[in-house]
Amino acid sequence: MFRVAIEMLLHDKTKYLGLLIGVAFTAFLVSFAMSYFAGFMTRGFALVSENPSAKVWVMDSAVSSAEATINMSNSSLGIVKGVKGVEYASPLYLGDMTARYANGHFQSFQAIGVDDATLSGAPKPANLLRIPNSVIIDSGGTDGKLQTPIHKKDMWAYNGSHLNAVTRELRYGDEMLINSKRVVVAGVSHTIPRFPPRPLLYTSTSNFKRLIPGEKRYITFIMVRPAKNITPEKLAKRISKETGLKAITSAAFKKETVMWYLINSEDVGDMVNMVVLAMLVGFGVTGVMLYMFTYENIKQYAVLKAMGASIKQLTDMIYTQVFIMAVVGSGIGVGISALFGEAISSASFPFRIMWFAPFIGFLGVFIVSLTAAFISLRPIKTMEPGIVFKL
Amino acid sequence: MSKIIASCKNIVKTFNAGEAEVKALQGITLDVYENELLMLVGPSGCGKTTFVSVLSGLLHFESGSCKLLQKDIATMDDVTLTAFRGENIGFVFQAFNLLPSLSAIDNVALPLTIKGVQRAEALTRAQEMLNAVGLNAKEHIKPSGLSGGEQQRVAIARALVHNPKFIICDEPTSSLDHKSGQIVMELLTKIIQEKGASMIVVTHDNRIYKYANRIVHMEDGKITKVAL
Ligand SMILES: Nc1ncnc2c1ncn2[C@@H]1O[C@H](COP(=O)(O)OP(=O)(O)OP(=O)(O)O)[C@@H](O)[C@H]1O
Ligand SMILES: [Mg+2]
């Protein structure tokens, strides 16, 4: 009967292709949306990804993401360094800065202050930050926000701002004003784009203090590298216990950050809604198509039942058909989404295939297919095989 | 008198079509004998199809009794009845009802496939039946590639491939031209003579009356006349 089921499925090539495209499209939509979303979320914890040697992150106990932060006391670094098993600990300081460009435009940055001694956390070559008053800037996933005028006459003009001046990208040697203090662009980096996108400004903590003097506390995170004989998990626990600060592994911190976005960010909420909506629409369409396919063949099932085919045999036939559709269709859909996604993945288009994207793509298609099969069994179970004479 | 294959007593069947009740069968009593070809005739809507549906266990009925091969079909559950049908009854329909996706030989083999007969054996027996209906060369052609008469011959081969005791044909010739209709009827009579089976043929077509052993006339859900 499997053979009969398969022949039935493949008989009408157009219909089969239509069904296949429907299923593939759903799987595509779902895994693509998930990967797209995963891409965004990956950018949400870019700061953590960009410091791979920091296996443990220490922060104020109230902080639960790399996005919304509050600073710790300046003594916390020494305390953390004193915990046994800490091989290496360096501070990161996050803050906001607004810079004035030479033509009078301004731009706000997320400022990342790194330890003066080690410069760890700064993009390579970090040594550029040893130049006095220097910063390294980064588009952080934005477009056209790091611009300075081409012509000398438009720079720091005595007659005010030249807002309509022709501009070019900022580069090494350009100058900006922050808090009326001069800074030099020592380099332009291209680290992981951020979510939400925003320009970044890396500088040494001492330069940070010079630019924004009012602050009392200059440590947002402490990045810790564990000694060889201790796992990050154990060390994190030990630091929390001994210091009262929050210490978690980088993996856990990434997860927390994603959770934080899911709960707190309206943008992410909208995105999730869209993804869910797309999934529901795709699933709905697929389900209806599969149902219609079975329903159209109901005469044939009636004939088979009249000739002695049991409900179980008919059920098996339908599940066979749906199973084949689901496997082939979702395979194609997930495959295309991977190829397509990798092809268009870029700074402005995050795409990251994590295990759950194809998984949910497959799973979703299977659930929908089985549901559709299950529903389409109803008319088959309830049909009077007597209708065979009326066909 | 030869052996009784099917025995119906006082069968009543009512359809509820919305508000209206249609009394399709109003007490049908009829015996069908071994090796006979019984024709069921009568005006449209008189209940012929309804009767053969009841008789073959395809349709439930309200009252009366119906025994097929000494088994009371009213007391069988759906699973048993379906298996019983698969074992003992062959169907030929006005609209052929072949599976469009299957080749002629696979269509003929279907009753065996359903019973779980090995594919090789099923195909051998299906091929024999196709030879018997004169379609040896067309076994791999799908229904859409066959003429109406050929399709009905495939359907006959399918109805007989599993050697059922009882064959039910609802208007087997009315979709066919005269000549194909004659071929179909000759095949049916020849095969029941060879294999030994009983057959009910529902028909409007008085040109095929000559093949009947008995002709049962129906009107308004009742049998009005039985002619030999
Ligand atoms: N499923 C059904 N629901 C409601 N009424 C039905 C149903 N099937 C048949 N009937 C009615 O029962 C009566 C008998 O129908 P049946 O199909 O048995 O007639 P028939 O003798 O086979 O007619 P024909 O020669 O046109 O095939 C008709 O009045 C028909 O309208
Ligand atoms: Mg009829």
Q: What is the DSSP string of chain B?
A: ---EEEEEEEEEEEEEETTEEEEEEEEEEEEEETT-EEEEE-STTSSHHHHHHHHTTSS--SEEEEEETTEEGGGS-HHHHHHHHHHHEEEE-TT----TTS-HHHHHHHHHHHHT--HHHHHHHHHHHHHHTT-GGGTT--GGGS-HHHHHHHHHHHHHTT--SEEEEESTTTTS-HHHHHHHHHHHHHHHHHHT-EEEEE-S-GGGGGG-SEEEEEETTEEEEEE-
Query: Alpha-carbon distance B121 to B113, whole Å?
Result: 10
pLDDT, position A365? 85
Q: How many CB atoms lie within 10 A of CB A160?
A: 7
pLDDT, position A265? 83
Residue % of chain A over a pLDDT of 90: 60
Q: Looking at per-residue confidence, does B23 or B175 come out higher?
A: B23
8 Å CB contact between B58 and B82: no
CB of B85 within 8 Å of any CB in chain A?
Answer: yes
Q: Is the beta carbon of B17 within 6 A of some atom in ligand 1?
A: yes
Task: Determine the residue of chain B that is closest to A389 in CA distance.
Answer: B93
Examine the domain organization and report whether A300 and A332 are in the same domain: yes
- The separation between CA B137 and the C-alpha centre of its own chain, rounded to angstroms, equals 26
The mean predicted confidence, pLDDT, of chain A is: 90
Pull the structure tokens for residue B221. Answer: 């859900």
Q: Looking at per-residue confidence, does A108 or A262 come out higher?
A: A108
Examine the domain organization and report whether A123 and A176 are in the same domain: yes
Examine the domain organization and report whether A286 and A370 are in the same domain: yes
pLDDT, position A385? 77
For the CA atoms of A114, A116, A119, A121, what is the dihedral angle to 10 degrees? -10
Which of A264, A295, A316 delimits the end of a domain? Answer: A264
The tens digit of pLDDT for each residue in A134-171 reads 999 999 989 899 999 999 999 999 988 999 999 999 99
Which of A230, A264, A298 delimits the end of a domain? Answer: A264
> What is the distance in angstroms between the Cα of A299 and the nearest Cα belonging to chain B?
8
Please indicate whether, in this complex, the C-beta atoms of A308 and B91 are within 8 angstroms of each other.
no
The tens digit of pLDDT for each residue in A316-349 reads 999 999 899 889 999 999 999 889 888 887 766 7
Which ligand lies nearest to the CA atom of residue B44 in the structure?
Answer: 1
If pLDDT is split at 50, 70 and 90, which confidence band does B161 have?
A: very high
CB of A386 within 8 Å of any CB in chain B?
Answer: yes
Examine the domain organization and report whether A39 and A133 are in the same domain: no
Q: Is the beta carbon of B21 within 6 A of some atom in ligand 1?
A: no
Whether the per-residue pLDDT at B3 is higher than 70: the answer is yes
Which of A264, A282, A303 delimits the end of a domain? Answer: A264
Chain A with chain B: Cβ pairs closer than 8 A: 84
The tens digit of pLDDT for each residue in B71-128 reads 999 899 989 999 999 999 999 998 899 999 999 999 999 999 999 999 999 999 999 9
> What is the distance in angstroms between the Cα of B4 and the nearest Cα belonging to chain A?
23
Please indicate whether, in this complex, the C-beta atoms of B114 and A299 are within 8 angstroms of each other.
no
Sign for the CA dihedral angle at A324, A329, A334, A340 comes to positive
- Domain membership of residue A348 as a residue range: 2-43+266-389
Cβ neighbours for A206, distance < 8 A, ≥ 6 positions apart: A116
**Interface probe, candidates B53, B59, B66, B89, chain A, greatest A C-beta count within 10 A:** B53
> What is the distance in angstroms between the Cα of B83 and the nearest Cα belonging to chain A?
5
**What integer is the mean pLDDT of A227-247?**
96
**Least CB–CB distance from B101: residue in A8, A384, A389:** A8
For the CA atoms of B148, B149, B154, B158, what is the dihedral angle to 10 degrees? 100
pLDDT, position A374? 86
Q: Is the beta carbon of B15 within 6 A of some atom in ligand 1?
A: yes
pLDDT, position B1? 55
**Interface probe, candidates A3, A301, A389, A391, chain B, greatest B C-beta count within 10 A:** A389
**What integer is the mean pLDDT of A92-109?**
95
The CA distances from residue A158 to A167, A317, A337, in Å, are 18, 83, 55
Number of domains in chain A: 2
Examine the domain organization and report whether A117 and A28 are in the same domain: no
CB of B146 within 8 Å of any CB in chain A?
Answer: no
Examine the domain organization and report whether A142 and A283 are in the same domain: no
pLDDT, position A348? 64
Whether the per-residue pLDDT at B227 is higher than 90: the answer is no
pLDDT, position B19? 81
pLDDT, position A342? 82
If pLDDT is split at 50, 70 and 90, which confidence band does A47 have?
A: very high
8 Å CB contact between B198 and B170: no
Would you state the CATH architecture of domain B4-227? 3-Layer(aba) Sandwich (3.40)
- Chain A residues whose CB is inside 8 A of the B93 CB are 303, 388-389, 391
> What is the distance in angstroms between the Cα of B67 and the nearest Cα belonging to chain A?
18
pLDDT, position A247? 97
Q: Is the beta carbon of B48 within 6 A of some atom in ligand 1?
A: yes
Q: Looking at per-residue confidence, does A268 or A192 come out higher?
A: A192
**Least CB–CB distance from B83: residue in A300, A306, A310:** A310
If pLDDT is split at 50, 70 and 90, which confidence band does A267 have?
A: confident
Examine the domain organization and report whether A241 and A96 are in the same domain: yes
Query: Alpha-carbon distance B178 to B112, whole Å?
Result: 31
Examine the domain organization and report whether A28 and A120 are in the same domain: no
If pLDDT is split at 50, 70 and 90, which confidence band does A391 have?
A: low
pLDDT, position A79? 95
Whether the per-residue pLDDT at A279 is higher than 80: the answer is no
CB of B77 within 8 Å of any CB in chain A?
Answer: no
pLDDT, position B122? 95
Whether the per-residue pLDDT at A304 is higher than 60: the answer is yes
The mean predicted confidence, pLDDT, of chain B is: 91
Q: Is the beta carbon of B16 within 6 A of some atom in ligand 1?
A: no
Please indicate, yes or no, whether the overall pTM of this predicted structure exceeds 0.90. Answer: no
**What integer is the mean pLDDT of A48-57?**
94
Which ligand lies nearest to the CA atom of residue B20 in the structure?
Answer: 1
| Residue at token pair 């390294």 | A136
The CA distances from residue A225 to A61, A235, A257, A321, A345, in Å, are 19, 9, 20, 54, 32
Examine the domain organization and report whether A181 and A323 are in the same domain: no
Examine the domain organization and report whether A33 and A128 are in the same domain: no
| Burial letters A335-369, b for 16+ CB under 10 A, else e | ebbbeebeeebeeeebbbbeeebbebbbebbbebb
**What integer is the mean pLDDT of B123-141?**
92
Examine the domain organization and report whether A107 and A180 are in the same domain: yes
Q: Among A291-295, A325-329, B58-62, which stretch is predicted with the lowest mean pLDDT?
A: A291-295
Write out the DSSP string of A301-362: HHHHHHTT--HHHHHHHHHHHHHHHHHHHHHHHHHHHHHHHHHH-BTTB-----THHHHHHH
